[in-house]
Amino acid sequence: MSKIGHIAWKELKGYFSSWMAYAILAGWMLIGAMIWNQITFDAATPGGFQIAPLYGNLLTILLFIAPLLTMRLLAEEKREGSLEMLLTSPLTEWQVTLGKYFGALAFVAAMLLFTTHFPFFAFRYGSLDAGPVWGGYIALFCVASAFIAWGLFCSSLSDSSVLAGFLAFGGLLISWLLGWLQEAAQSSDLAAFVVQFSVLTHVQPMLRGAIDTKDLVFFASLTWLFLFATVRVLESRKWR
């Protein structure tokens, strides 16, 4: 476990030693503030104050941020030739994979921490249902976990970080767009089956504060599947 933690800490420090991390954080906070400003402006309308749109829009932003955070994790190591040194050290493929995964996930957790002042002010100066707040953060964390696992897997497939980033974004976008088939799912069994593989389908109940076990299992399964696939890709390098 200490080896995994060491790798994760190294990756986390690597993020904060580059300008990209601060650019991502600045953009994240700026977009969050703009959304929050619009939400508070709409509070005067008949619909009243609703915080769920904040988390729904931040989930969309994660669609773009996750590939940026993960595209270099393994692709750059392969391009520089340091991955072979890492895998021939007293580290298993699982330790390398989990270390890099938790490093990226810790950065996203810091991003989420920087948004907690929004619901704080809502609770402090107004009336707010806690359900959508907890549901929103659980949804953000679950989606980030699956997105990072997918991005890490894409990074293991290529020595080009740009190609890994495009591949990660393309896969995430497809999963997101499958949620648009929800209306067709009411009249088509095939559409009803396909829509279950959309991230959007499993996120929407959480944003309303309804945490269902099947949604948590979906994200946990996706995360484990892509982490396992990443390990298998790293293991295959031994036979080349």
Residue 209 pLDDT: 75
Position 19 pLDDT exceeds 60: yes
Question: Which long-range contacts does 19-25 make (Cβ < 8 Å, 24+ apart)?
Answer: 20/68, 21/107, 24/65, 24/68, 24/69, 24/111, 25/110, 25/111, 25/114
Q: What is the arithmetic mean of pLDDT over 35-45? A: 69
| Least confident segment among 86-90, 132-136, 166-170 | 86-90
Closest CA to 91 of 16, 9, 3, 164: 3
Question: Measured between alpha carbons, how far is residue 145 from residues 29, 38, 153 in Å?
Answer: 20, 28, 12
Reported as a pLDDT band with limits 50, 70 and 90, residue 220 is very high
Q: What is the arithmetic mean of pLDDT over 61-88? A: 81
> Mind listing the pLDDT tens digit for each residue in 113-124?
988 887 787 776
Query: How far apart are the C-alpha atoms of 66 and 88, rounded to whole Å?
Result: 28
Question: Between residues 37 and 157, which one has the greater pLDDT?
Answer: 157
Position 91 pLDDT exceeds 90: no
Residue 109 pLDDT: 92
Quote the crossing angle between the two packed helices 19-42 and 52-70, to the nearest 10°: 170
Q: What is the arithmetic mean of pLDDT over 12-35? A: 86
Q: What percent of the chain has pLDDT over 70?
A: 81
